[in-house]
Amino acid sequence: MRKVYLIRHGHPDFPVGAHMCLGRTDLPLGPLGRMQACLLAEELREKEPFSCFASPLIRAKQTAEPLHLPIDTIDGLAEQNMGTWDGLDFDTIERIDPDLHRARRTNPLLVPAGAETLAQVQQRAMSALRQCAGSCRGDFAVFAHASVIQAILAYVMGVALAESRELRPPYVGYSVMEYDGGFHMLSRENVPHPEMTPMLAESLLAAAAPGARVEAHCRAVARKAMEIAEALPLPMDRNALCCAALLHDVARSEKNHAEAGALWVKTLGYEKEAEIIRQHHDLASDTVDEAAILYISDKCIQETEPVSIEERFAKSAAKCVGREAQEAHERRYQKALALQNQINSLCKQAIL
């Protein structure tokens, strides 16, 4: 029996705030999607070697790339053509085509003008899947899209197309089938979740590509955090701390980057690291824990060089325009000073 991995692409690089009808619109992966693809590759790496097939759309091909295997593109795996809706945000669709938009909530077989039907998608998707099976000998991975995967799963599982919306996979979710001349379902809704390690965190940081300066800063903060954790006479989850430190500025270019980065890491399935990241800009409590260590470590590193708390806050004060920003800056400064005193007291020496 040969195994078939049927995989949805990672999170696309949607325009800010957009909820789109994507279809054939050819968006690449965003930072979160690239991180998801990195996790998927880590999970599937032990199952190599196998052949890779992908939709010609860039978001599917980019999801396959971290496996570092040759990728054959198959036109029949492309996402459903959504006709006049393709590439529009749903607010616009609701405004220009309200009746159909409302009707599709209960009947996905209805399609806008110029779009493919789900039956057409299923016919070409199954033909493409058989083409993949016939052009390789071992296990193989197929990187495709929500509607294509729904149509394939409906066929294999004997589910009516009108009910196939329930089979919609999450981003980088994958199903596993067996192939022996026909396709047989083994498992659905698998989501990659390899063990988080500093090496994996480094790979995720590189995949998100926040820039060389940010990556260097994250590594410097991680080294400082581990130095403090080693000196403290307290139990610490050093692995979670190190990984969170390496990823703390992964969303540095986003508005409210601490919250954005925490959301990305939580979406990947690593809630403890996400919570530590969320607090690196505004610490929630006075407890000396992993979040506190990341908070103070970040304040002790300017770019990649050690600085005092006073120096760091003096340099950032000029960026605070307006009373609210100045008050927040002062609050963070006082929090950092108090935390510095707590840590030095616990360590019985001035390590900060």
Of the candidates 190, 211, 230, which is a domain's last residue?
190
Residues 128 and 221 in one domain: no
What DSSP string runs through 290-328? Answer: HHHHHHHHHHTEETTEE--HHHHHHHHHTT--SHHHHHH
Domain boundary, last residue among 161, 190, 219? 190
Interatomic CA distance for residues 175 and 49, integer angstroms = 18
Domain boundary (158, 190, 222) is at: 190
How much is the pTM?
0.95
222's tokens = 């991680």
186/258 same-domain check: no
Look at residues 116, 124, 122, 142 and name the one whose alpha carbon lies nearest to residue 61: 142
| Same domain as 203, residue 184 | no
Does 170 lie in the same domain as 75? yes
Q: Which residues of the chain have pLDDT under 50?
A: none
Q: Does 352 map to a domain?
A: no
For helices 271-278 and 238-247, the axis angle rounded to 10 degrees is 60
Give residue 141's pLDDT: 97
- Do both 132 and 221 map to the same domain? no
Residues 30 and 171 grouped into a single domain: yes
CA–CA gap between residue 149 and residue 147 (Å, rounded): 5
Shared domain for 143 and 255, answered yes or no, is no
Does the residue 238 lie in any domain? yes
Q: Tell me if 140 sits within 8 A of 132, measured CB to CB.
A: yes
My answer on whether 79 and 127 are in the same domain is yes
Within this chain, do residues 98 and 177 fall inside the same structural domain, yes or no? yes
Domain holding 333, by residue range, is: 198-347
Our count of domains for the chain comes to 2
The rounded distance, in Å, linking the Cα atoms of 61 and 74 is 11
pLDDT computed for residue 49 by the predictor: 65
Query: Under a CB-based contact definition with an 8 Å cutoff, are residues 156 and 177 in contact?
Result: yes
Is residue 229 assigned to a domain?
yes
Residue type, 284: A
Query: Distance (Å, rounded) from C-alpha 263 to C-alpha 252?
Result: 13
Question: Do residues 140 and 83 both lie within one domain?
Answer: yes
Give the CATH number of the domain where residue 212 resides.
1.10.3210
174's enclosing H/E stretch is strand 174-179
